Amino acid sequence: MKEYDIILVYYFVRKHDYYAHIINGLSKQYKIAILLSDEENFYEVHRGIGKVKNTDKLFRSLCVKLGAELVYINRPLKAKLVVLPNYIDTYTEHYKELFCKNVKWDELIALLPIFCHPTGFEFLKKLNPSLYMAPAKYILEMKMKKENTYNLIENLNMVEMGFPHKKYSIFDDAKFDIDYIVAYPSHTHFLESKKKEKEKYDFISTLYKLLGKISDKDKVVLKHHNNRDTQRYFSSSSFKFKNNLILRSLIVLNDFLIKISPFKYKLYLIGRKLKSIFIESKYPSFETITEYNNLGLESFLPYIRKGLITGISSTHLHALKNRLPVYNCDPQQDDEVTEEYHKKYLVDCCNGELFFDEKNYDRVPKELSNADVVELLKSRLNRLGK
């Protein structure tokens, strides 16, 4: 039976970006394992994960470089400390049986993500974790109260774990020379329907206007959302214009036609494409800078000097915690997928102006700012005699 100080139970890359930072903070002192499924056809069985298969494999290899070992659920394992996210509920019954049979521990800690789903609690509670930890615990509590599921966590021994991305950063600063990063939002807030074409156009138009206010001396890069390895949302890279003057003239003409024409839907679509082409022709893609471009944005924010430019996104909270200005280019006021608890950290739309109110930093509670998951895990290991 292989033994470790810590086993981090793993589902897939988009759920566990903080694992790399935890490993970086602990691997010099502790023996760490990443626990994977034993399914040979894992990416085919979990089809949504298959969309980021290449990114997932790259992230696993990064964790190994940072000092972890990859282990599988079909072998007996023992750890002083096991960290188990509630995503385990998405695994098969066979996986859960193997977990209970093969994985032994001195202490089990459950990890509840910021937008935790209540379906995982039944299995977690059967395993009787001694501690529950959550990033942005106050958001999780607000979410579960809104959904009438707060009773599931009300009496748990739960602590704030914070965000480890900046203190335990995983890349070399010299790799990056970036003033502003444009992080395109996912499709979630721009549902594929005609009624949303205006909203997509408004986002790109606000972004286009804002970028026009940034000095050409500042270095701007574009990062597409990491919900798949390819087929970027908002990308127009298949279209090229050799003459930017013609492109700018078409943009001005299209904006004018939108104001006077009753047939706006196609004009919104054309305008979005034209402005996207201009933006992508002027600024480099993040994938030209690093092979890890499709990892979560949170891991790269520590290297950005002047600001995060994005839409409606939970990355606002991460940037604010890093005291990095946020420029929200999505003018939507009553987005149907945005709840009150999201508004606790979402910065108002910038309306294309390069202005950030530093009072927004006050949105981050001291409990979140001061929390340190690496020190938390160290203290638990010290109690266990390591």
Q: What is the pLDDT of residues 251-294, one digit of tens each?
A: 999 999 999 998 888 999 899 999 999 999 999 999 899 999 98
Fold of 2-162+371-383: Rossmann fold (3.40.50)
Q: Is the pLDDT of residue 169 over 60?
A: yes
- Rounded to an integer, what distance in angstroms lies between the CA atom of residue 385 and that of residue 16? 27
Is the fold of 2-162+371-383 the same as that of 173-365? yes
- Rounded to an integer, what distance in angstroms lies between the CA atom of residue 218 and that of residue 306? 9
- Rounded to an integer, what distance in angstroms lies between the CA atom of residue 55 and that of residue 61? 10
- Band (pLDDT 50/70/90 cuts) for residue 338 is confident
Higher pLDDT, 297 or 119: 297
Contacts 24+ apart (CB under 8 A), 150-158: 152/118, 152/121, 153/112, 153/121, 156/132, 157/130, 157/131, 157/132, 158/112, 158/131, 158/132, 158/133, 158/134
In CATH, what is the architecture of 173-365?
A: 3-Layer(aba) Sandwich (3.40)
Residue given tokens 């919900």 in the structure block: 227
Q: What is the pTM of this model?
A: 0.91
> How buried is residue 114: exposed, middle or buried, by Cβ count under 10 Å (0-12/13-18/19+)?
middle
| Phi, psi at 309, each rounded to 5° | -110, 120
Average pLDDT, rounded, for the chain: 88
Sheet holding 326-328, edge to edge: 220-223, 178-183, 304-310, 326-328
Higher pLDDT, 95 or 107: 107
Q: Is the pLDDT of residue 240 over 70?
A: no
Residue given tokens 């970086």 in the structure block: 24
Nearest to 367 by CA among 161, 169, 131: 161
| Domain ranges for the chain | 2-162+371-383, 173-365
Q: What is the pLDDT of residues 38-77, one digit of tens each?
A: 766 666 666 667 677 888 889 999 999 999 999 999 999 9
Assign 6 to helix, strand or coil.
strand
